[in-house]
């Protein structure tokens, strides 16, 4: 029996999603020196499990802290965004660290979207360790082949492979299939020198660089 709602969406040529990359302390991550934990909320201090034997660069605690500081004290908050009781989509989910951080801080429910088997097992283990099964869905699919959403989400995390232009394509797919609520906040991670063509229907709120990463926060205005 699976520990939570696991949805399999077969895809012909599924693209394997990478695990979360560090926003800062990039060199430490490359050496395997990043000890990743949930940094705030009811599960503060809970360690995040990542698959072994892969080129894993989990989002660092400093990186998550910087991102959530922007969400709670930056322009998203000024626009009225509140995390508490929000439905969250963690796309290209990797270890599930960002989605679990959101749950720990008061989000109502998280859907993880991930097509790499090792990452799916890591997400399952991390969800079980937090006893968060009832608040989680895991959809096994390439984000660019995302199925129709049962209901839209107010916070979207996107962390695709760098340099492939996947953020714009993923946003368009997710919006078309009903994942992005009107007024939703979308957080995308890219390479620091990567360009982003912002799709129609989104407005940029934040654009920051942390080491090798660039974080862009958008608001849906559709």
Question: Using CA atoms, how far apart are residues 88 and 108, in angstroms rounded to an integer?
Answer: 8
Question: Using CA atoms, how far apart are residues 119 and 101, in angstroms rounded to an integer?
Answer: 17
Structure confidence by residue, pLDDT tens digits, 98-147 = 999 999 999 999 999 999 999 999 999 999 999 999 999 999 999 999 99
Domains of the chain by start residue, with CATH: 5-220 (3.40.50.150)
Among the residues of the chain, which ranges form H helices? 26-30, 61-73, 75-78, 97-104, 117-129, 166-176
Beginning with the edge strand found earlier in the chain, give each strand of the sheet holding 109-114 in spatial order. 5-8, 136-140, 109-114, 87-91, 153-158, 180-191, 213-220, 202-210
For residue 35, the model assigns a pLDDT of: 67
The mean pLDDT of 65-71, rounded to a whole number, is: 92
For residue 115, the model assigns a pLDDT of: 93
Structure confidence by residue, pLDDT tens digits, 14-37 = 333 332 333 333 333 333 445 689
Quick check: 90 and 98 in contact, CB under 8 A?
Answer: yes
For residue 58, the model assigns a pLDDT of: 60
For residue 106, the model assigns a pLDDT of: 97
């Amino acid at each position: 029996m699976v520990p939570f709602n696991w949805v399999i969406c077969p895809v012909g040529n599924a693209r394997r999603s990478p695990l979360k990359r560090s926003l800062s302390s990039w060199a430490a991550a490359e050496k395997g020196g990043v000890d990743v934990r949930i940094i705030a909320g009811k599960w503060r201090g809970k360690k995040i499990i990542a698959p072994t034997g892969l080129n894993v660069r989990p989002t660092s605690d400093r990186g998550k802290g910087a991102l959530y500081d922007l969400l709670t004290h930056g322009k998203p908050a000024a626009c009225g965004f509140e995390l508490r009781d929000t439905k969250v989509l963690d796309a290209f989910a990797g270890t599930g660290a960002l989605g679990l951080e959101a749950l720990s801080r008061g989000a109502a429910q998280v859907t993880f979207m991930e097509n790499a088997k090792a990452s799916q097992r890591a997400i399952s283990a991390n969800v079980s360790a937090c006893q968060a099964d009832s608040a989680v869905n895991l959809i096994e699919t390439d984000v660019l082949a995302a199925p129709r959403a049962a209901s839209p989400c107010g916070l979207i995390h996107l962390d695709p492979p760098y340099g492939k232009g996947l953020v714009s394509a993923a946003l368009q797919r997710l919006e078309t299939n009903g994942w992005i609520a009107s007024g939703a906040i979308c957080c995308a991670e890219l390479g620091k020198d990567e360009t982003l063509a912002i799709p129609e229907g989104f407005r940029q709120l934040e654009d920051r660089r942390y080491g090798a990463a660039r974080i862009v926060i958008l608001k849906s205005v559709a």
